[in-house]
Structure 1
Amino acid sequence: MIEVGSTLVHEDVVTEHFVCNLNKCKGACCLEGDSGAPLEAGELDILRAIYPKVKPYMTAKGIATVEAEGTHVTDFEGDYTTPCVDTNKECAYVTWENGITKCAIEKAWEAGDISWRKPISCHLYPIRITNYPEFDVLHYDRWNICSPACGFGSELKVRVHEFLKEPLIRKYGAEWYQELEERLADA
């Protein structure tokens, strides 16, 4: 583990290669899993507030799900997540372009309708964060549906933390990311 500020970064985050390859996986991470995307407590009010502006970008099934269940739900482990269409299927905020999943929240952000890009867990994927009272642990979540991303990252020689520089800075700040790079240079 690499200590950076009040976080511990698993070595896989800085040694493994990864670059999303949506042409291969079609955004399967938004369609599969045990529950919706993890949400931080501070994101719940944001989702409620932006929903009217995100709704025009959503599918009819996604809208029906949010209207029935709310902008977020509590999963089987008691964690906040995005609701899923048809229980543990696609995220309610999924939309489609040319057979590839897109995020309706991010589409609203790209259009300038909202100022919040999407849940940080989505932006950081495949990094997952385990929160403890005094520190966070960042780890690389390996999932077979991301095999094309691993191969593409190897081909391009881009490591997980490099691919996710923008969301890491969004979550922890530019100074944190600089400290991570300095720790790696010193290693």
Structure 2
Amino acid sequence: MIAIDNKLVSDHIIEEQFVCDLSKCKGGCCEDGDAGAPLEDWELDEIIQHFEVIKPYLTTAGLAAIEKQGKYAYDAHFGWVTPTIKGEMCAYGFRDNKGILKCGIEQAYYDGKLEWKKPISCHLYPIRIQKSKLDPDLEYVNYEPREDLCKAACNLGKKLKVPVYIFLKESIIRKYGQEFYDTLAATAEHMNSQQPD
């Protein structure tokens, strides 16, 4: 583990390689899970404030799920999460003409209608963050790809030689800031320089 401030970062984030391969997984992480996408408290306000902007990007089934469950829901294990369609696909998702599952929030962002890109938990995946039960200020930053679903992404990462922390640079900076990322990158360079050729 790498300690940066009050975060314990798994070595796998530096050692493993990963690049999403949407042509293979079809965005399956948006529908394959135990609950919707975990949301930070401030993201609840983003959804409420910008829902009318996001709404045109959503499917009929997604809107029906939101109507029934609310714009976000509470899960006993994950806390606040996005609602899902029949316990599967995120209610904020839609499929493009290639059958790839995309995020309606992110599409609104790409269209210049939002400044919030998407839930940070989605942006960081396959990094997952867990708060310590003993110390509320301590966070565990882990690398947790799904074995089957993310196999193509792990293979593509190895082929392209892209470490997890580099692939997720934008989202790590979004979550923890530039200084945190620079420390992580410098640690990675130091660790890699210690490896035998």
TM norm structure 1: 0.96
Q: Which residue in the other structure is 1:158 paired with?
A: 162
What residue number does 1:135 align with? 138
Matches of 1:70 and 1:49 in 2, distance apart?
14
Q: 1:5-154 alignment to 2 at 5 Å?
A: 5-77=5-77, 79-86=79-86, 88-97=87-96, 98-132=98-132, 133-143=136-146, 144-154=148-158
Q: In the aligned structure 1, how far is the partner of 2:102 from the partner of 2:18?
A: 19
Evaluate the alpha carbon distance shift between residue 78 and residue 126 of structure 1 in structure 2; reply closer, same or farther with a 3 A threshold: closer
| Percentage identity across paired residues of the two chains | 44
Equivalents in 2 of 1:134, 1:78: separation in Å?
Answer: 17
Measure, in 2, the Cα distance between the counterparts of 1:50 and 1:22: 27
State the Cα distance separating 1:68 from its structure 2 match. 1.6
- AA paired with 2:95? W
RMSD: 1.1
Cα distance in structure 2, aligned partners of 1:72 and 1:172: 24
Structure 2 CA distance, aligned partners of 1:26 and 1:134? Answer: 36
Q: Note the alpha carbon deviations across 1:79-108, whole angstroms, 9 max, x for none.
A: 11100001x210000111120000000000
Aligned residues: 186
Q: 1:154 to 1:78 in 2, by over 3 A?
A: closer
Runs of 4+ in 1 over 3 A off after TM superposition: none
Aligned counterparts of 1:186 and 1:48: Cα–Cα separation in 2: 44
